[in-house]
Amino acid sequence: MAEPIVAAPERRAASDVAAPIVEVRGVHKIYNGDVVALKDINLSFEEGRLTSLLGPSGCGKTTLLKIIAGLLEPTAGEVMVKGRKITGPGPERAFVFQDFALMPWATVLRNAAFGLELRGVPAKERNETARHYVEEVGLKGFEEKYPHELSGGMRQRVGLARALAVNADVLLMDEPFSAVDEQTRRKFQEDLIRLREVENKTFLFVTHSIEEAVYVSDRIILLSPRPGRVNNVIDLDIRRGDDPEAIRRDPNYLDTVEEIWRGIKQYLD
């Protein structure tokens, strides 16, 4: 019998348990006085892990991500980052937008360095840092190109380079691969796994794709539809090996995808 792909979290001594880098405590979000988008969300996120937020449309995935980013205020509850309550955006968090959010008049290098420019980092230092991350995301040789000269996938890579360049502890990604073709999407997924291992950052990743969530994640948070609540938390133990595509053929991977689909499908029937 094959080993299960979903494993219970390993029990560790209290002294070995890392303090969460992000904590969501009793968060509610109500729009227009009566539309309850999120209800009583309590979650914690450890450093160096990639967690996907998954659920049907209208379950509050992006709303929760924007609250953690400090782009939206919760109606009730609070978000703690590195032990401090957030009151808005902060340098320890970077957001990768679904629609790229690039400056059309700026080169790839300038776009990647923009966050550092806002922080007053000297030009030489910020350009060196931005150049490093432009290469890291696979855009070496495109530093002086403009967004209109790039494909959708390449523009999204620029957005990722910009987020990495500011050296934030937490990267918040709102369906970053939704606008690209399937081939590019798969390459992005492999790159994301590699970046998580190299950068040791905390990734919070919103997706509508069950397959994508299982493939890239250490953990999946399943949200129920409005009002969005935590329906299930799944810890994944995926043995990818040297062949990143092998996991997609693993029966346990397929079983996990099917199990999650059944959990979501109940809200669609």
What rounded mean pLDDT belongs to the chain?
86
Q: How many CB atoms lie within 10 A of CB 260?
A: 21
pLDDT digits (tens, 9 = 90+) for 196-239: 888 888 999 999 899 999 999 999 999 998 889 999 999 987 76
Q: Where are the alpha helices (DSSP H) in 137-244?
A: 152-165, 182-199, 210-216
* Percent of residues in the chain assigned helix, strand, coil, to nearest 5: 35, 25, 40
Q: What is the pTM of this model?
A: 0.85
Helix (H) or strand (E) holding 262: helix 251-265
CA 155 to chain centre: 17
pLDDT of residue 6: 36
pLDDT tens across 119-131, in order? 999 999 999 999 9
To which H or E segment does residue 253 belong? Answer: helix 251-265
Kindly provide the residue ranges of all beta strands, DSSP E only, lying in the chain, ordered along the sequence.
22-31, 35-45, 50-54, 76-81, 84-85, 93-96, 170-174, 202-206, 219-223, 230-235
Q: 20 CB contacts (<8 Å, ≥6 apart)?
A: 44, 45, 46, 47
Output the pLDDT for position 152. 84
Count CB-CB contacts under 10 A for residue 180. Answer: 19
User: What does the longest C-alpha to C-alpha distance in the chain come to?
Assistant: 58
Residue 54's beta-bridge partner residues? Answer: 222
Residue with tokens 């994640």: 217
Q: What is the pLDDT of residues 54-67, one digit of tens each?
A: 988 888 999 999 99
Find out whether 166 and 116 touch, Cβ atoms under 8 Å: yes
List of domains in the chain: 49-74+84-92+170-269 (3.40.50.300), 102-167 (no CATH)
User: pLDDT: is 183 or 164 the higher one?
Assistant: 164
Average pLDDT over residues 92-98: 88
DSSP 8-state symbol, 60: S
pLDDT score, position 192: 87
Q: Are 232 and 200 contacting, i.e. CB atoms less than 8 angstroms apart?
A: no
Helix (H) or strand (E) holding 108: helix 108-118
Looking only at the bridges linking them, the beta strands covering 35-45 and 50-54 are unpaired
